[in-house]
């Protein structure tokens, strides 16, 4: 995801990165060339003059704008819900880390090392959820953060984040049996793990339940049919300006259609999707700092929003 501070109006006209223009420029060129051809032939197909009243396009455009507004709201709801879930994950990881470091009553060097291993496991959970949502393995982060014993336990597992939570729960249960944490503290930490599960399940719900395909097809078809028929309705009233006006209207509708499709899948890797890598790096930096774990090459990202 890319977020910039607003710059002056002239620079905004030429910003390329983060814009959907590069995804739709071919369609816009085709529609513009088609509009020029319609102008050159005065709206005729062979010897038949296509008579379309501009009022028709006003009514269709209004209905299309309302439907696009509905689809845009539905897509942004999915995007914003995903962002809230990952924002909650930032909070819960820091809370669980604080509880592990301060409430597990064992300050021996071995215990401190164990605590750091669990903190790394919390980071591994975030990275594994990230890559699970992006259909990747993310093995480079697991091998960096987990011990060989834990990596062996994860082999053959389909849902890695859930398996990592199981390992953390086993460690907490072991600390309870050793008397390092009492039942009340264990219950509190288990609540944190339940929050991790809720966040994971919420992300899976978004990932596995896309917008109804019928909406996408209807919107896509209507937008392109509207844009290709529009030149016939405007050629007589606008003359040589018609291709430019059609280009402007087509850019508005087709770009919004592309944005709707892009943000409806917020866990992807396109420029307007959620910056999951940056969020994971931020989580790792903050909890490693709490646990006094050397950061090595992993530093806090400059922004949540540059992946």
Domain boundaries defined on the chain: 20-77+211-263, 101-209+274-291
Exposed e or buried b per residue across 239-272, where buried means at least 16 C-beta atoms within 10 angstroms of its C-beta: eeebbeebbebbbebbbbbbbbbbbbbbbbeebb
CA dihedral 277, 166, 111, 189 (to 10 degrees): 90
- Mapped onto helix, strand or coil, the DSSP state of residue 49 is strand
**Rounded Cα–Cα distance for residues 274 and 307 (Å):** 8
Q: 248, 244, 218, 246: which is closest to 64 by C-alpha?
A: 218
Query: In the chain, which residues have pLDDT < 50?
Result: 302-306
Residue pair 200/161 in contact (Cβ under 8 Å)? The answer is yes
Token representation of residue 281: 């790096």
Tens-place pLDDT, residues 75-112: 999 999 999 999 999 999 999 999 998 888 877 888 88
pLDDT score for 304 = 46
Residue pair 122/92 in contact (Cβ under 8 Å)? The answer is no
Specify which residues 48 forms β-bridges with. Answer: 45
| DSSP codes of every residue in 144-188 | HHS-HHHHHHHTT-S-HHHHHHHHHHHHHHHHHHHTSS-HHHHHH
**Rounded Cα–Cα distance for residues 93 and 122 (Å):** 7
**Rounded Cα–Cα distance for residues 86 and 79 (Å):** 11
Token representation of residue 74: 């539905």
């Amino acid at each position: 995801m890319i977020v910039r501070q607003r710059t002056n109006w002239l620079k905004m006209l030429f910003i390329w990165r983060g814009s959907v223009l590069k995804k739709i420029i071919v369609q816009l060129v085709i529609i513009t060339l088609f509009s020029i051809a319609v102008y050159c032939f005065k709206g005729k197909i062979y010897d038949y003059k296509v008579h379309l009243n501009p009022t028709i396009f006003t009514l269709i455009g209004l209905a299309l704008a309302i439907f696009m507004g509905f689809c845009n709201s539905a897509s942004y709801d999915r995007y914003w819900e995903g962002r809230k879930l990952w924002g909650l994950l930032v909070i819960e990881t820091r809370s669980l880390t604080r509880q592990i470091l301060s409430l597990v009553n064992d300050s021996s060097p071995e215990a401190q090392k164990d605590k750091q291993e669990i903190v790394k496991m919390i980071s591994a959970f975030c990275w594994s959820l990230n890559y699970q949502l992006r259909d990747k393995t993310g093995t480079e982060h697991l091998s960096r953060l987990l011990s060989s014993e834990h990596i062996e336990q994860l082999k053959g597992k389909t849902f890695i984040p859930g398996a990592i939570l199981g390992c953390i729960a086993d460690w907490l249960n072991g600390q309870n049996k050793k008397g390092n944490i009492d039942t009340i503290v264990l219950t509190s930490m288990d609540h944190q793990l339940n929050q991790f599960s809720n966040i994971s399940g919420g992300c899976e719900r978004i990932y596995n339940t896309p917008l109804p395909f019928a909406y996408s097809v209807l919107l896509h078809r209507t937008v392109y049919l509207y844009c290709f028929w529009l030149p016939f309705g405007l050629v007589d009233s606008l003359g040589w300006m018609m291709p430019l006006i059609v280009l402007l209207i087509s850019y508005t509708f087709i770009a919004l259609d592309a944005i709707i499709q892009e943000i409806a899948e917020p866990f992807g890797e396109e420029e307007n999707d959620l910056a999951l890598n940056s969020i994971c790096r931020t989580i790792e930096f903050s909890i490693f700092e709490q646990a006094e774990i050397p950061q090595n090459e992993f530093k806090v990202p400059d922004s949540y929003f540059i992946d």
